[in-house]
Amino acid sequence: MYYNEKSILYYDGDFLEATKATTDLYGQSLHYGYAVFEGIKSYKTEKGTKIFKAKEHYDRLKRSAELMMIPFDYTSEEMIEITYNLLEVNGLSDAYIRPLVICSPNMSLSKSQKSSLVIEVWNWNNGYLANNMRIMTSSFERPNPKAFRVEAKVSGHYVNSILACQEAKDKGFDEALLLDADGNVAESSGANVFFEKNSKLYTPPVGSILPGITRATVFEICDLLGISYEEKLFKPEEMRGADAGFFCGTAAEIVALESLDQVSFQMSWESSLSAQIQKAYRHIVLEEDYTYLKSQLQCAN
Ligand code: PMP
């Protein structure tokens, strides 16, 4: 599903056949989750293949490595160029891009002396995920910011995401909503969260979340369309039964929530401001103009 005998990946300066690439089995990345990664998407636009917010993603990868004390010398510009070449050799436009920084063989609990960069790409043209997610408040909390560098995208953190996501699926929900150690809403297993109430959007501040690049794009859209928003701490009770809600992330894009803990959001998705943000986001990733949405919103008010 992710690769076949024709797929090519990037590994430390080489373009290799994915089926032939290997890794060492005696390393901290595999044993302890001591690795950093990114999730990036490219889109087929009228002007050709465009990697969305490539610099922001690669800057975050470098910052994640720095926070984890993993030596990593690539510049974002170098990685962007490699990625465009990799997409081309794989014949991909609408793609998911997964850079991964793994540590060289070493089983100790001290920092890595050397790292390797792997970039994998695969086809992704299935558009939106389900746009009516039924989510539940997870019994698993987000990793404690005093125990982890939660703002970094570290492989090991995702064990927590797997536990929360699987718990939700086992209970018949689509996804989990994780709280921080104080019971405030934090985020989903792999996306940030917003809710809408009385024509205003709310989202948790940084602290216990991965500060998403899509979340920052939502702020940009709000500024351009004149939609008000606030970063604040809130409990799930405040979000339950609000007007609308959505998850946002590179893979999910903007995906509508139907209910939280079986309490439905009140508005029809189409009449929410959140739906306008979803539309605008699609235009932005495809590099299309979305400012016309502003006049539509003004008419509606
Ligand atoms: N939170 C978590 C835990 C994630 O894994 C992701 C996906 N990278 C996000 C939020 C959203 O981040 P972004 O918008 O940068 O993809």
Q: What is the CA radius of gyration of the chain?
A: 20
Strands (E), the chain: 8-11, 14-17, 36-37, 40-45, 48-51, 95-103, 115-123, 133-141, 175-179, 185-188, 192-197, 200-203, 228-231, 244-249, 253-260, 263-264
Tokens of 238: 């405040």
> Ligand 1 centroid vs 249 CA: distance in angstroms?
5
Q: Which backbone phi and psi does 37 adopt, to 5 degrees?
A: -150, 175
Contact 124, 95 (CB under 8 A): yes
- Residue-range domain boundaries for the chain: 8-123, 133-300
pLDDT of residue 301 exceeding 70, the answer is no
> Ligand 1 centroid vs 301 CA: distance in angstroms?
32
Residue 295 is predicted with a pLDDT of 83
Residue nearest to atom 2 of ligand 1 (CA): 190
133-300 CATH pick, 3.20.20.70, 3.20.10.10, 3.30.750.24, 3.30.450.20: 3.20.10.10
> Ligand 1 centroid vs 6 CA: distance in angstroms?
29
Q: What percent of the chain has pLDDT over 90?
A: 92
Close Cβ partners of 161 (under 8 Å, ≥ 6 residues apart) = 189, 190
> Ligand 1 centroid vs 299 CA: distance in angstroms?
33
The pLDDT-based confidence of 290 (bands split at 50, 70, 90) is: confident
Q: Which protein residues are within 6 Å of ligand 1, measured from CB? A: 39, 187, 190-192, 210, 212-215, 249-250
> Ligand 1 centroid vs 212 CA: distance in angstroms?
5
Q: Count CA atoms closer than 13 A to 1's CA, side-chain side.
A: 1
Q: Do the strands 95-103 and 40-45 form a parallel or antiparallel pair, or are they unpaired?
A: antiparallel
Residue 77 is predicted with a pLDDT of 98
Helices (H), the chain: 28-32, 54-67, 76-89, 158-170, 213-225, 236-239, 273-285, 292-300
Q: Which atom of ligand 1 is nearest to the CA of 210?
A: 1
**Among 240, 231, 250, CA closest to 136:** 240
Close Cβ partners of 219 (under 8 Å, ≥ 6 residues apart) = 229
Residue nearest to atom 5 of ligand 1 (CA): 190
8-123 and 133-300 have identical folds: no
Residue 147 is predicted with a pLDDT of 96
pLDDT in tens, 16-68: 999 999 999 999 999 999 999 999 999 999 999 999 999 999 999 999 999 99
**Residue of 52, 97, 214, 247 with the most ligand 1 atoms within 8 Å of its CB, for mutation:** 214
Long-range CB contacts (< 8 A, 24+ apart) of 219-223?
221/277, 221/280, 221/281, 221/284, 221/290, 222/277
**Residue of 175, 206, 246, 250 with the most ligand 1 atoms within 8 Å of its CB, for mutation:** 250
> Ligand 1 centroid vs 192 CA: distance in angstroms?
6
**Among 57, 151, 129, 55, CA closest to 98:** 57
**Among 291, 289, 284, CA closest to 52:** 284
Contact 36, 158 (CB under 8 A): no
Q: What is the mean pLDDT of the chain?
A: 96
Count how many residues are written for the chain.
301
Greatest CA separation found in the chain? 62
> Ligand 1 centroid vs 231 CA: distance in angstroms?
17
Give me the CATH topology for the region 8-123: D-amino Acid Aminotransferase; Chain A, domain 1 (3.30.470)
pLDDT in tens, 153-197: 999 999 999 999 999 999 999 999 999 999 999 999 999 999 999
Residue nearest to atom 10 of ligand 1 (CA): 191
Residue nearest to atom 1 of ligand 1 (CA): 191
pLDDT of residue 127 exceeding 70, the answer is no
pLDDT in tens, 232-279: 999 999 999 999 999 999 999 999 999 999 999 999 999 999 999 999
